[in-house]
């Protein structure tokens, strides 16, 4: 019974799906929490005397927080209005983690495994930020290890999650200087040893020559090393490579954006 999907269809007819009503409520609470925090910061900003040193400093903090929450709203809107399906599941999260996000090839959708029928805003925000990454090509649905997955993908997810903790954490981590250096410094103990050496951010707009450093797909790497493909972006190289694998093997290997739409 817990796996019967509940659909949330917005006015454009685009779909978020949920394993149950509890997880749908968790998503709705996240959106409400995001708007509530943004409204509170906006109200406080309106009452500040920005001509004073303390007022100007606080105003700068509040502006950063407001912009971060507004950006997250925009990201969630983009996911709701995309052609891809995003499914929030109560299935077990990866071992050692509170949640997980990946593209499920058999189900044809981006899936968030939350391991519970109800989840807090910070944990859910972290995974949904990964979901947005699949939409814009920061990550790819891969039949192998995702070569686009790097430290930046976790940093932006943790920064988003921090917006829903204490205000001091939101300022320090969410909109502060915490980033790649700090994340890399704790990589031996934070469960992300698989990201060791992946400090450079890879997206579909990155030069394809850099992708070879992260990719474990020998066929893709050989394709990129060809002189005809040396100057392609990651997106261009993967798109061309997908055409080859689709014609020779019947399926693509790497998906993002509208390609995530269930066939």
Rg (CA), the chain: 20
CA atoms of 119 and 112, how far apart (whole Å) = 11
Helix (H, G, I), strand (E, B) or coil at 101: strand
**pLDDT tens for the 263 residues of the chain, in order:** 233 344 444 333 347 899 999 999 999 999 999 999 999 999 999 999 999 999 999 999 999 999 999 999 999 999 999 989 999 999 999 988 999 999 999 999 999 999 999 999 999 999 999 999 999 999 999 988 899 999 999 999 999 999 999 999 999 999 999 999 999 999 988 889 999 999 999 999 999 999 999 999 999 999 999 877 878 999 999 999 999 999 999 999 999 998 898 76
Residue 125's nearest CA partner among 84, 159, 150 is 159
Helices (H), the chain: 21-46, 53-80, 121-136, 151-162, 167-169, 180-185, 208-211, 218-225, 234-249
- What residues form DSSP beta bridges with 207? 233
The H-or-E segment that residue 8 falls in is: strand 6-9
User: What is the model's pLDDT at position 109?
Assistant: 94
Count Cβ atoms within 10 A of the Cβ of residue 88 and give its class: 0-12 exposed, 13-18 middle, 19 or more buried.
Answer: buried
Q: What is the pTM of this model?
A: 0.92
φ and ψ at residue 182, rounded to 5 degrees: -70, -40
Q: What is the largest CA-CA distance in the chain?
A: 67
Residue with tokens 């749908």: 24
Q: What is the pLDDT of residue 263?
A: 61
CA–CA dist 178, 156 (Å, integer): 10
């Amino acid at each position: 019974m817990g796996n019967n999907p509940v659909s949330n269809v917005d006015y454009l007819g685009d779909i978020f799906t949920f394993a149950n009503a509890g997880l749908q409520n968790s998503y709705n609470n996240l959106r409400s929490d995001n708007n509530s925090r943004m409204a509170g910061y906006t109200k406080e900003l309106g009452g500040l005397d920005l001509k004073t040193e303390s007022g100007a400093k606080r105003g700068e903090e509040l502006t950063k927080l407001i912009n971060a929450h507004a950006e997250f709203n925009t990201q969630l809107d983009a996911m709701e209005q995309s052609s891809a399906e995003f499914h929030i599941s109560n299935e077990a999260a990866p071992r050692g983690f509170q949640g997980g996000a990946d593209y499920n090839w058999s189900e044809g959708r981006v899936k968030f495994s939350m391991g519970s029928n109800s989840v807090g805003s910070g944990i859910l925000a972290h995974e949904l930020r990964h979901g947005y990454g699949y939409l814009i090509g920061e990550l790819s649905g891969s039949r192998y290890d995702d070569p686009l997955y790097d430290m930046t993908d976790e940093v932006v997810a943790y920064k988003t999650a921090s917006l829903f903790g204490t205000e001091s954490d939101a300022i320090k981590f969410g909109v502060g200087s915490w980033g790649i250096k700090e994340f890399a410094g704790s990589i031996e103990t934070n469960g992300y040893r698989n990201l060791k050496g992946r400090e450079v951010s890879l997206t579909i707009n990155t030069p394809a020559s850099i992708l070879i450093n992260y990719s474990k797909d020998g066929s893709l790497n050989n394709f990129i090393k060809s002189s005809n493909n040396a100057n392609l972006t990651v997106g261009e190289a993967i798109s061309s490579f997908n055409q080859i694998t689709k014609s020779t093997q019947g399926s693509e290997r790497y998906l993002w954006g509208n390609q995530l739409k269930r066939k």
